[in-house]
Amino acid sequence: MFVINHPAGPPPAQPSLDLDDGSPPRPGRSLTPLPTRRRSRLRARPELARLVVLLASFVCAACGLVYELELVALGDYLLGDSVTQTSVVLSVMVFAMGLGSLLAKRFTRRPATAFALVECALALTGGLSVLAVYSCWAWIGRYQATMIGLTCLIGVLIGAEIPLLMTLIQRIRREDAGRAAADLFAADYVGALIGGLAFPFLILPVLGPGSGALVTGAVNAVAGAAVVLWLFREEPAPRVRLLLWGGCGLVLALLAAAAAWSDAVERAARQALYGGQVRSVSQSRYQEIVLTGPAEGPLRLYLDGRLAVCGPDEYRGNEGLVHPAMAAGPDARVLLLGGGDGLALREVLRHRGVRSVLVVDHDPALARLARTDPGLATLSGRSLDDPRVRTAQADPLEWLRTVRPGPGESFDVVLADLPAPADGGPVTFHSQEFYGLATRLLAPGGRLAVRGGDEQHGWQGLWQAESGLRAAGLRTVPYAVAGSATASCRPGPEGSQSFLLAAAAQPPLTLAPDAPPPRALTPDTLRTSAARLTALRPLHPPAALTLLGPH
């Protein structure tokens, strides 16, 4: 907060002077009068000039929050740990903002010039930040240092805005510091609100992270640097003013060039990451979806950089999730949580007793790709187009929380086709609350099947999931399917994938006669894997995961 100390006694009649730093006279400091033209322009319509500065603050705050959210989202895409990425970006940026506010005190004698330089630097840094981090991740492999460095620099520049804007506000019309700060912070916070809402609902789904950051940078340069330079154009000397306008134009030209080349950069980065046969890329509100491989197969599906489907091996995990649960009792009504790619649904529909299936997935873009891409549609057997299938676009946990069990709302089988935390899945889908809500929808004799992770990550996730299911009042049996679901795409130890089958009474582990025999399963291999995992069960199992942490 800036405190304005007015000297005692009546103000001098002549001359009426403004200071370059907007502060009142202090002993030992000379006054610098502003040109008459500036005084007449600003004071002729001070409310309009003040409104323009507040609008610049509003837009700059919106752009600053978009840069922040872009980095958080990109870190989540690249690493898959949203809590860590959010914590790192927010903490570093808030610290850097404080540092920027302290550094800005040195530049308040020429606030318009300093603000124009800050906004040009911020527009360029923030606009290019996503492409820079993504390129480092694709070609260098370690992007954390780049992300932290850019976050710190963006935070310093954002932090410098408020002191400079406060000085500009006081330049236009002297007023109580508290009132000026209230107006300035109100514009800043409302701008942050608009930027925060625009990011997930407009910028991310329409433009994507890279183009969204570039467009935001251009808006930042125009609304910040250009507006202030126009309003306070007499502050810098003519040569300096020309350089500032040229710098602002150069920033816009660089952002435009980056926008023109961004597609080429992204294509080159994706080819370095995924190979040369990238044939479908889409950025939904929830995730980046990349499909690679020839149309006739084998294909690979990446979700936020995580290999989710490897064509030659995908059947292993989907058969392991579906067939034991479908064989343990009635299977007329099935609830599939996740599974927007239609692959687990394909296995469900192979059982002749199925009458209806409800698929609840949060991302319609994935289901749309599964319907329209020839390779993925063939691999899924066009299961999403089956008349027995209904779909609901919703987050599985939120859908479970809001649905009200009633007549006709219970299911014989509930399948959670959601990645385990060790495989990049969120903890929320393997929490005690999630299992408890899913249990409410089980019909008498109903079963719930979930993924437990693969052998390469150990069995810790399997036992945590089992603890959550047992806390929800279910009895469980663990089992495994030999072979990795991505073995053909990621050579290495074959290992196995683990699953849990749960019900109110101990569920039998078998295969049903009303479906073609699975390729990856036999009754003997199921029983053998269950016996092996039961022998490995720890004497003191780990605590169940909850939305508030382990219990």
- Token pair belonging to 530: 């269950």
**What is the C-alpha separation between 405 and 166, in angstroms, rounded?**
56
Task: For residue 356, list its beta bridge partners.
Answer: 333
**What is the C-alpha separation between 348 and 344, in angstroms, rounded?**
7
Task: For residue 283, list its beta bridge partners.
Answer: 288
Q: Residue 298: is the preceding peptide bond cis (ω within 30°)?
A: yes
Closest CA to 422 of 396, 467, 455, 398: 455
Residue 211 CB-density burial (10 A; 0-12 exposed, 13-18 middle, 19+ buried): buried
Q: Which residue of the set 188, 313, 417, 454 is catalytic?
A: 417
DSSP characters for 27-96? Answer: TT----PPPHHHHHHHHHSHHHHHHHHHHHHHHHHHHHHHHHHHHHHHHHHHHS-HHHHHHHHHHHHHHH
Collapsing DSSP to helix, strand or coil, 319 comes out as: helix
Which segments are annotated as binding site for S-methyl-5'-thioadenosine?
287, 361, 426
Contacts with 414 (C-beta within 8 Å, 6 or more apart), sequence order: 334, 335, 337, 438, 441, 442, 446, 447, 448, 449
**What is the C-alpha separation between 91 and 89, in angstroms, rounded?**
6
- Residue 120 CA to its chain's centroid (Å): 26
Residue 145 CB-density burial (10 A; 0-12 exposed, 13-18 middle, 19+ buried): exposed
- Token pair belonging to 49: 């000039």
Residue pair 538/499 in contact (Cβ under 8 Å)? The answer is no
Query: What's the N-to-C CA distance of the chain in angstroms?
Result: 44
**What is the C-alpha separation between 478 and 358, in angstroms, rounded?**
25
Which segments are annotated as binding site?
287, 341, 361, 426
Looking at residue 6, the DSSP 8-state letter turns out to be P
Angle at 44 between CA 42 and CA 49, to 5 degrees: 40
- Token pair belonging to 9: 């006694």
Which segments are annotated as binding site for spermidine?
341
Name residue 256's amino acid. Answer: A
- Token pair belonging to 541: 């199992």
Contacts with 169 (C-beta within 8 Å, 6 or more apart), sequence order: 22, 50, 53, 54, 180, 183, 184
Q: Are strands 411-417 and 442-454 parallel, antiparallel or unpaired?
A: parallel
Contacts with 437 (C-beta within 8 Å, 6 or more apart), sequence order: 397, 400, 401
**What is the C-alpha separation between 324 and 314, in angstroms, rounded?**
17
DSSP characters for 224-268? Answer: IIIHHHHHTTTSS-HHHHHHHHHHHHHHHHHHHHHHHHHHHHHHH
Is residue 417 annotated as a catalytic residue, yes or no? yes
Please give the positions annotated as active site: 417
